[in-house]
Structure 1
Amino acid sequence: MENITVMAILLRLMNDSISNKTQFSIARGILKNFRQIPQISIYDLADLCFVSPASISRFVKSLGFSSFSEFKKECEGYISIDVDYSSNVLKAKGADILPLFERYTVSAKENLDYNLQNIDMDQIEKISDWIYKADDVVYLGLEFATILGQHYQKKMAECNKYIHLPWNFEQQREIIGDFSENSVAIIASLEGGYFYRSSEIIRMLKNKGSKVIAITMEHNSKLLRDADEIILCNKNNSETEGRLSLLHVIELLIMYYFINYK
């Protein structure tokens, strides 16, 4: 469960399991009552989901949890949307919204300008050549970065280059375990969180001899010492505006690859 939150797992089940009525019902019931999960029993949840306690037990084990207690603990530790925003947003009233929108937009524009000002065309050429010649390329990230990875994967496939996009630790370990030395890992992590949470994957990549490309704003962090190339991305991220600049960098990489390797 290291690289994907319980909320993301449940939402994916809701999207993928409509044909499995029991899984769909349990996932929907948990999401509707998510904040209550740490305080209720397996019997209470079973009633809320209109299934048996045994079905709840099987469900959480299918997600990789050893017990309902472990699942509850994971739900309790889930970090909510509040952490996305500064105190300006958390304390905002109706009259504050438009000025906040304006500041957000200005900050987002500054990020895009920052990306363009810091772009190193020799670096982009080198990275694109690595990707073109690699036997395998994997895109890694947490949460939103992985969602952007779906877009990157699709567009690169249209350029005749397949990109691995594993969603969780087990898939990442399995895919990287089969890599040759001629492989590339693209790690999108604005604040370096992936490097902190996935040290085993980083070690595997280095042991394989894979080239590691980091897209991040934390370019001075010791966490990034194993990156072969660091693409600077983002100046501000107080209100999640960094998400837009991460997409900006990914679009630039796609565009360069399309022009030179289509």
Structure 2
Amino acid sequence: MLKINMSNLNNLDVKIHNLLSKECKSNPKLTIIDAANLCHCSPSKISKFVKKAGFQNYKQYVDYLCNRTSPTKVFSNEFERIHHFLDTFDLSIIDEFIAKISNYEKIVLVGYGPSKHCALYFQFKLQLFCPQTILVIEDELSAPSLLDRNSILIVFSTTGAYHSFRHFQTIAQEKQAAFLLLVEEYNPSIIPDYGEIIFLTDSYQTISTIPYEKSRIVFFIFIEEVISHFIKNKS
């Protein structure tokens, strides 16, 4: 599981990220010394930046940018994969997620295909415990009129690969709204430049390579755990 948070970055951090993202496309063997020279800063600054963005170290960051990282495990069936997810999931992510969405007056949820039903289910359950306005939308056309600095846009996606998600991210940034991409599978091809990405698993699904055929079990487990924490906190 990996959580990438671009919201924590200041202007200098964003500049470093943009420079390194571009440089790594032509120089995948970029060392931390070369990165520091390119960004006119110290190697320690580079290390602090990558940790602030959510990576363990510089190597993990560069490997991610260069799409060199791969799932930690390969499973023969979904039951084994889900079992691994339950055994290794970091529950602190749940508390951080709840703390984040609690900061906003409006929560806007997005999902395509079967993921839309995850968003609708989350809306139904969340409304029982949250005083905020919670909406589910299907396209980016309605997003500009709903988003502002007091709202957060959460996208449910098994792969995070749909191009339209980039449009949602751009709209959220223009409206100064928070943006969170909640991805089921691990996908290092997603290079963020705004908001947050949470990869719920560190593996690929075994059922299908086609997004609409993929399982949403992990999403529903995540949703139920979020609701469970809300109930505990309320009591």
Fold match, TM over 0.5? yes
CA contact 2:94–2:225 (8 Å) conserved in 1: no
Give distance in 1, aligned partners of 2:81 and 2:181.
17
Deviation (angstroms), 1:261:
4.4
Q: TM-score, normalised by structure 1?
A: 0.51
Q: Which has the higher helix share?
A: 1
Please report how far the alpha carbon of residue 163 of structure 1 lies from its aligned counterpart in structure 2 after TM superposition. Answer: 1.6
**Is the contact between residue 131 and residue 184 of structure 1 (CA under 8 Å) also seen in structure 2?**
yes
Partner residue of 1:115 out of 64, 77, 85: 85
**1:156-171 equivalence runs, <5 A:** 156-161=126-131, 162-171=133-142
- Which residue of the other structure, out of 123, 146, 149, is the alignment partner of 1:175? 146
From 123, 142, 167, the counterpart of 1:153 = 123
Distance 1:260 1:116 in 2: 22
Aligned equivalents of 1:254, 1:173: Cα separation in 2: 28
**How many residues are matched?**
154
Q: What are the superposed Cα offsets for residues 94-130 of structure 1, whole Å, 9 maximum, x if unpaired?
A: xxxxxxxxxxxx7232232233244233332121012
Identity, in percent, stands at 16
Equivalent of 1:218 in 154, 170, 186? 186
More strand by share: 2
Amino acid at match of 2:173: K
User: Which range is displaced more, 106-115 or 124-133?
Assistant: 106-115
With over 3 angstroms needed to count, the CA separation of the structure-2 counterparts of 1:187 and 1:201, relative to structure 1, is same
Tell me which residue corresponds to 2:99: 129
Question: Alignment partner of 2:142: what SS?
Answer: helix
Counterpart Cα distance in 2 of 1:155 and 1:258: 11
User: Residue 227 of structure 2 aligns with which residue?
Assistant: 254
Q: Which runs of 5+ in 1 are unaligned?
A: 1-105
Larger C-alpha radius of gyration, 1 or 2?
Answer: 1
AA matched with 2:107: V
Q: Identify if the C-alpha distance between structure 1 residues 223 and 131 changes in structure 2 by more than 3 Å, giving closer, same or farther.
A: same
Alignment match of 1:193 (pick from 161, 165, 182): 161
Determine the structure 2 residue equivalent to 1:88.
none
Amino acid corresponding to residue 106 of structure 2 in structure 1: D
Of the three residues 199, 207, 210, the one matched with 2:174 is: 207
- Counterpart for residue 217 of structure 2: 244
CA distance in 1, matches of 2:91, 2:201: 14
Cα pair 2:154 2:180 within 8 Å, conserved = yes
| Whole-Å separation in 2 of the counterparts to 1:207 and 1:258 | 34
Q: CA 1:224/1:254 → structure 2, altered by over 3 Å: closer, same or farther?
A: farther
Deviation of 1:201 after TM superposition, in Å, equals 1.7
Measured after TM superposition, the shift of residue 149 of structure 1 is: 1.1
Distance 2:114 2:179 in 1: 20
1:45-124 alignment, distance < 5 Å: 107-124=77-94
Q: Which amino acid aligns with 1:203?
A: T
CA shift, 1:241, in A, is: 5.0
1:25-44 map, 5 Å: none
Q: Report the aligned-residue RMSD.
A: 2.6
Flag structure 2 segments of 5+ consecutive residues without an equivalent: 1-75, 208-212
Structure 2 residue aligned with 1:79: none
